[in-house]
Amino acid sequence: MISSYTFGIYPRSEELIEATRKNTENLDSLFQKETEEYISAQKNAGLGFVSDPLLKWDDIFRPFSNLSSVTPTALNRIYEMNTFYRVLSFDGQDLVGGGNIVQSNLDSSLPKNKTAAIPEPFTFAELHTSNKFKRKEDFTINLAKMLRVEIDSLVKSGFEAIQLLGPSIAYNNEVDFGLVSDALKILTSGLEAKTILHTYFGDVSKKIESLLDLPVSGLGFDITTTPASSIEKHSFSDKLLTVGIINSFNTAIEKPQECIKQVDEINAKTKPKESYVSTNFDLEYVPKEFAMNKISVLGEIARGAKDV
């Protein structure tokens, strides 16, 4: 048996979507009901870490729009997906004004074995703007300082694993790994929690050596875009390895035994310090009933895989 978790935003049911459009009187209770259903589904599946389904989050960056120095601007497409995020303009000099922005937007009913996801600084800087920090390097480093305050708040309140979402690292052909590393050092130095950098929306086969040098506890891979054969060429003896085995991009339900075999093969060749299985990215791209099924299958895969 190995550990498991999901990350990112979950899908809203058709009922909740319709209620949101009409802004019905019982909207808050519907959000809470569906949030609790998803948390219960993760618990029932026996996932190692449980995450908030983030149903009220319109995108992974949106809580930071509450900062006094931030102005929400135009909607922009999330890479090549049919979903959008609100571009944030960081207008102030001092970005460190929160400390519990992420935490205050998470459900209080999460169990002790809980995990939270935030964007890593390089991706954050790639997708947003700043009127004060014209150089991307300065913007990235200052975002890292802002995010470290958030991470400290999460760890203090009991979050044991912090997922750092880095799709831009996978999506961009050119990545300044020196800048990525400097920013991640700010996030992870002296931190008493596991940090797992997730790359998705692109093949990182040629970037794995650079990724292994980054100052994080572990790495997560979307194996629908980065072939398992590329991952298997590397040793993960001093890193946690998360295999994004559940495909959030289609409704086909994974076959547990086939997935268990693949995970065991990857672990046998990479010999990771610890092994996890997860979704390859947000479950929001599939309808609720399929998301529920995929959560259940994820737990089954984790229970069936050999410990490392």
HSE at residue 63, side-chain half, CA atoms within 13 A, is 21
Number of Cβ within a 10 Å radius of residue 1: 12
Share above pLDDT 90 across residues of the chain, in percent, rounded to a whole number: 92
Phi-psi map region of 130: left, alpha, beta (phi>0 left; psi -120 to 50 alpha): beta
Distance (Å, rounded) from C-alpha 197 to C-alpha 22? Answer: 38
CB 72 within 8 A of CB 85: no
Q: What angle do CA 89, 93, 99 make, to 5 degrees?
A: 80
Question: Is the CATH number 3.20.20.210 carried by domain 3-304?
Answer: yes
pLDDT value at position 89?
Answer: 95
pLDDT value at position 97?
Answer: 67
Give pLDDT tens digits for 251-287.
Answer: 999 999 999 999 999 999 999 999 999 999 999 999 9
Residues of the chain with pLDDT under 70: 97-98
Distance (Å, rounded) from C-alpha 174 to C-alpha 151? Answer: 27
Give pLDDT tens digits for 56-69.
Answer: 999 999 999 988 88
Number of Cβ within a 10 Å radius of residue 113: 17
Distance (Å, rounded) from C-alpha 138 to C-alpha 125? Answer: 10
The reported pTM is 0.95
